[in-house]
Structure 1
Amino acid sequence: MAVTIKDVAKQANVSPATVSRVIADNPRISVKTKVKVREVMKELGYYPNFQARNLVAKNSRTLGVIMENSAALAFQNPFFPEVLRGISTRAHESQYGLYLSTGATQEEIYEEVIEMVQGRRVDGIVLLYSKIGDPVMEYLCQSGLPFAVVGRPYKNPCSVTYVDNDNINTAKETVEYLIGLGHRQIAFVGGATDFVVSLDRLEGYKQALNKHGILFDVAYTVNQEFMQGDKSEAIRRLMALELPPTAIVTHDDMVAYEVIGYLEDLKIQVPEDVSIIGFNNHMISKHLKPPLSTVDISIYDLGLHAAELVVEKITDASVPPKQVVVPSRLIERGSCRRL
């Protein structure tokens, strides 16, 4: 026979109402009582019916997590498992489950978000990207549902709560690191130009060049759109310039891996012929030959803080919008050399 809340109350010598409050982690219940009741629950093997409780309370105890594209593609990038690890940690501590988007296109993801909100499937949402003119963010602004963004919103349409790195200054400092090694011909291989993080890192690249009297030359920049189709051809043209770059800054480590592969096909060695540096500090980066210099952007902390901000807003709707900046740090390895 299934153990009931009354059985737990009787064994713990408290009322059923007190057991319910312990399950809900009500702050009015003392720590001592919570410990005693939870020990009895564990001893008796009692598991609360959260689905029933949530129906009564009109909440789901679930956070929606929206990725920038289909789950199949997203999980090929080590960024997403790591940021999800941070989100999961805070969600678990607050007794929330996760609902991941599964749409394969921007349109499918948009429809899925509408279903999440209107179907009350989630109590809040973490948006794992920030794009220019994104219909998902615009809809969330209008919906009234608590949400937070991993990334700086473009023009911040509704005083959005977000967590991000200082991508402009971080990129600027990364380029200055290469300039300090004696490099003047520095290329930038960026991401898609409708993502705010791509724009910010390109802006930091430009600021560093300007600060050190190096003219910005669009020929030294390659973005994701330019690399569509034959990506190796884009790198070949870059390295065929009259003054080819002696160093390359890439949008993230995944892009750096690709670029290094194309350079190998061209018989161009890293770092003997060209230095290269990435962003995100993926686990595999230190195991490359040579190990990849990179910027650690604290991906886990980005997810942790984003979930924390959403849960805070769910708990107290009067909390004002917040912006959290997570620090990043340059990790010097063997893929960069001094000229």
Structure 2
Amino acid sequence: MNERPKILREDNTAGETVLAEVEEVIQLAVTIKDVAKKANVAASTVSRVIANSNRISHATKIRVREAMEELGYHPNFHARSLANKSTKTIGIIMPSSAKVAFQNPFFPEVIRGISTKAYQKGYGLYLSTGQTEEERFEEVVQMVEEQRVDGIVLLYSRKNGLIMPYLMKKNFPFVLIGRPYDLPDEEVTHVNNDNFKAAKMVTEYLSLLGHRQIAFIGGNMEYVVTIDHMKGYKKALEQAGIEVNDSYIVYHDELEEGGQEAVIELMSLQERPTALVVADDLMAFGVLRMLSDMGVNVPDELSIISFNNVMISELSSPPMTTVDIHIFDLGSTAVECLFDKMLDKHIQPKSVIIPHRLIKRQSCKKCNDKTLHS
């Protein structure tokens, strides 16, 4: 009676034995042994086929998979997890609830990059749903302590964040898309754009078009991307000999609605700006809609430049000049880095910078007398 159940065995090799035994204990209608008999191979070979092992020939994989399909066999997720000590799942932590995040085209595109690379490795995704930083932190704790995921991709960085310090303390594999705020860059593996350089570039571009009254509409002030955009904007003004006007700097958490509110605030000034640097294409779309309602012509009376190059920027009226930050590549590269960390938790952290590119369309033009006196 004191004999340990087979399900708790720890002395297996590569998990194949435990997987077979677990499924026998669970008494599935069709077991690995049934598939092995049908395909005329060993049960361990079936396990390796399920794991997509490189040790098994392509022909054998086809034969085993045909047997699985014919018998209606589906590998048991929990049995595989116990056998291989892997959930085959990656956690995705977003800066807000999924409902809110997916209103911004950035997040579906970055998750497309993540999921494409994850699928190639046979991994699924586990999306966070918390609406506050505290709720998201509790989700991460559950993911880690309950072994729900093998690694985590963090889609944002903020001041005084709770999640990164916790993951580092636990030595749990994670990759940040963005730049760490409270920690040195060399301590956290992260994939990012040079957001300082991108914002500096677009502000310089507007300056070269003759604009000197250049306003900035940023997102959440707690997020590092907003901080970097602001620093780049201010640096370009300084180098162009343009004094920073605090009334030209507006922040809003909401994107499309925030853009509308921001432009009302800026266009109410006695000395209106002639050009806008907007932190996000969706926010810029809100800006364009509000300016249209006001009868302000873009770009004749006001030039606008934005970031991300999502589809809405090309379909807006006028089509928007923006910065392509290669969102898909941010996601896929982050997963590549995460797999490296999952294979070796002690691998040295690294920083990967995804290049950006200015996409010129029709929302910017040279500053002229009409613009200055509008």
Task: Tell me: CA distance 1:226–1:117, structure 2 relative to 1, closer, same or farther (3 Å).
Answer: closer
Is 2:152 aligned against 1:125? yes
Matching residue within 290, 294, 302 for 1:262:
290
Q: Which residue of 2 aligns with 1:278?
A: 306
Q: Which residue of 2 aligns with 1:216?
A: 244
Q: Which residue of 2 aligns with 1:56?
A: 83
Q: Distance in 2 between matches of 1:293 and 1:2?
A: 59
1:242 CA displacement: 4.6
Is the contact made by 2:133 and 2:162 (CA closer than 8 Å) also made in structure 1? no
**Could you tell me which amino acid in structure 2 is paired with residue 87 of structure 1?**
I
After TM superposition, the structure 1 = structure 2 runs for residues 326-337 of structure 1, keeping only pairs within 5 Å, are 326-337=354-365
Deviations 1:212-235 (A, max 9, x none): 2222222221112799x9975643
Deviations 1:156-207 (A, max 9, x none): 3581111111111111111122222222221111111111000111111112
Greater RCO structure (CA 8 Å; 6+ sep): 1
**Could you tell me which amino acid in structure 2 is paired with residue 160 of structure 1?**
V
1:56 CA displacement: 2.5
**Could you tell me which amino acid in structure 1 is paired with residue 332 of structure 2?**
L
Q: Which residue of 2 aligns with 1:309?
A: 337
**Could you tell me which amino acid in structure 2 is paired with residue 238 of structure 1?**
L
After TM superposition, the structure 1 = structure 2 runs for residues 166-245 of structure 1, keeping only pairs within 5 Å, are 166-224=194-252, 234-245=262-273
- Aligned residue for 2:187, secondary structure, equals coil
Aligned length: 338
Q: Which residue of 1 aligns with 2:50?
A: 23
Which consecutive unaligned segments of at least 5 residues does structure 2 have? Answer: 1-27, 368-374
Q: Which residue of 1 aligns with 2:371?
A: none
1:93 CA displacement: 1.0
Q: Distance in 2 between matches of 1:23 and 1:319?
A: 28
Q: Which residue of 2 aligns with 1:99?
A: 126
Q: Which residue of 1 aligns with 2:175?
A: 148
1:12 CA displacement: 3.8
Identical columns (%):
53
Q: Distance in 2 between matches of 1:232 and 1:20?
A: 56
Is 2:96 aligned against 1:69? yes
Is the contact made by 1:236 and 1:266 (CA closer than 8 Å) also made in structure 2? no
- Aligned residue for 2:238, secondary structure, equals helix
- Aligned residue for 1:149, secondary structure, equals strand
1:289 CA displacement: 1.2
- Aligned residue for 2:219, secondary structure, equals coil
Is the contact made by 2:259 and 2:283 (CA closer than 8 Å) also made in structure 1? no
Which consecutive unaligned segments of at least 5 residues does structure 1 have? Answer: none
Is the deviation greater in 86-95 or in 158-167? 158-167
Q: What's the TM-score, normalizing by structure 1?
A: 0.91
RMSD between superposed Cα atoms in Å = 2.4
Q: Distance in 1 between matches of 2:254 and 2:151?
A: 36
Q: Distance in 2 between matches of 1:94 and 1:230?
A: 39
1:325 CA displacement: 1.0
Q: Distance in 1 between matches of 2:62 and 2:341?
A: 27
Task: Tell me: CA distance 1:237–1:21, structure 2 relative to 1, closer, same or farther (3 Å).
Answer: closer
Higher Rg of the two aligned structures: 2
Q: Distance in 1 between matches of 2:261 and 2:342?
A: 49
Q: Which residue of 2 aligns with 1:90?
A: 117
Is the contact made by 2:33 and 2:43 (CA closer than 8 Å) also made in structure 1? yes
Q: Distance in 2 between matches of 1:330 and 1:21?
A: 47
1:293 CA displacement: 1.1
Q: Which residue of 1 aligns with 2:21?
A: none
Task: Tell me: CA distance 1:137–1:189, structure 2 relative to 1, closer, same or farther (3 Å).
Answer: same
Q: Distance in 2 between matches of 1:137 and 1:120?
A: 17
**Could you tell me which amino acid in structure 1 is paired with residue 292 of structure 2?**
E
Q: Distance in 2 between matches of 1:159 and 1:104?
A: 27
- Aligned residue for 1:133, secondary structure, equals coil
- Aligned residue for 1:279, secondary structure, equals strand
Q: What's the TM-score, normalizing by structure 2?
A: 0.83
